[in-house]
Amino acid sequence: MLVEKDLNKLIRILNINEIHKFKFEEDYKKIYSLDQMNSDINFQNLVYPYIRLNNHKNTTSRLDFIEKTNNKHLNNLETKLSLKSILYRLAKGDTLIMDGIDVFNQNVRIFSRALSNGLNAKVSSNLYYTFRDNTGINLHFDQHDVLAIQIHGQKKWHFVRNIIEDISKKNDHSIKPILDSNSVVIETILLEEGEFLFIPKGIWHYTETTAEKSSLHIAFGLTPPNIHDVLNEFIRQKIGKYGQTNVYGLDEKKYQSVVDELISKLNESVDEKFNSIEFSNFLKIYKNQYTNIELI
């Protein structure tokens, strides 16, 4: 479902690390469809929190769409959802969210695994459905890269940046932009059926549906290994079982001795193994295409 040509295109886009709209050669209809979502909603068990509803005001509660009983205590514990309540909330402008759609749908699962294997990355998949002429979930940023595919209808993606000081990439300290103010600039991209959109982590955004059609898209969260992960794995392999020694009860001096011993063990292998050539070979074995490593 994900051919090599498509995968190479995606890797180039990931390395650029900028918002980018594009198409794959592969037919997007093989991944998912509106008919499939209708089937899932009508014939699968609707269970919270795998299926949720939300809006840009964050005012929807689980109690708004659970299957009500006469027992108030059970209502607070219940996870089975009411299809009638879901449809009502959708008509009010909420967005339907199905977390882990790859768990329930084979085609999405095949595509997710192809992404994971091709990028050597952790991949999640969430479905979003919103009626036409509505705002999606509230302004936010993600702490992982996102690959979105428009399955049905259209969706306007609004990307918001602070003009005065754009610190959106500093996720832990990012200042939430103030919409309708002179301190932000908004870039809008219209995503149509069959188009993909790559959004790097840490970029503030929100979405809207057009007046013509409702919108269905799937967002694949991409978490590739970073340099820290690669180095951790390399060190883990170098020090072997020693790295599994626990540190409970160690005082500050003993912690220092652990660090000294780690450095000593690494230095012991410098003459024989620990050098740039071996690390290069390790990277080839590690197979991290996401960071432009040439595999031989």
Cα–Cα nearest to 46, from 111, 104, 129: 104
Residue whose token pair is 């932000």: 184
Percent of the chain with pLDDT over 70: 78
199 CA to centre of own chain: 10
* pLDDT, position 229: 82
* Residues belonging to the chain: 296
The type of residue at 271 is D
- The CA distance from 286 to 234, in Å, is 9
* pLDDT, position 290: 44
Topology classification of domain 4-223: Jelly Rolls (2.60.120)
Cα–Cα nearest to 76, from 85, 84, 67: 67
**Lowest mean pLDDT, pick from 12-21, 150-159, 282-291:** 282-291
pLDDT digits (tens, 9 = 90+) for 187-227: 999 999 999 999 999 999 999 999 999 999 999 999 988 77
Angle made by CA atoms 163, 167, 169, in degrees to the nearest 5: 130
* pLDDT, position 214: 95
**Lowest mean pLDDT, pick from 22-26, 85-89, 258-262:** 258-262
- The CA distance from 177 to 174, in Å, is 9
Helices (H), the chain: 4-16, 34-43, 72-77, 83-91, 101-104, 106-119, 227-239, 252-268, 276-286
Q: How far is CA 26 from CA 4, 6, 107, 214, 242, in A?
A: 10, 8, 13, 24, 47
* pLDDT, position 247: 65
pLDDT greater at residue 272 or residue 249:
249
* pLDDT, position 175: 77
The type of residue at 269 is S
**Mean pLDDT, rounded, of the chain:** 82
Percent of the chain with pLDDT over 90: 44
What lies within 8 Å, CB to CB, of 187 at 6+ separation is 19, 158, 159, 161
pLDDT digits (tens, 9 = 90+) for 3-33: 889 999 999 999 899 999 999 988 889 999 9
pLDDT greater at residue 239 or residue 80:
80
**With 90 as the cut, is the pLDDT of residue 151 above it?**
yes
* H/E run at residue 190: strand 184-191
Angle made by CA atoms 147, 35, 208, in degrees to the nearest 5: 45
Cα–Cα nearest to 1, from 217, 100, 149, 199: 149
Q: What is the mean pLDDT of residues 146-159?
A: 97
pLDDT greater at residue 282 or residue 212:
212
Indicate the domain borders of the chain.
4-223, 227-291
**Lowest mean pLDDT, pick from 30-44, 105-119, 242-256:** 242-256
To the question of pTM greater than 0.85 for the whole model, the response is no
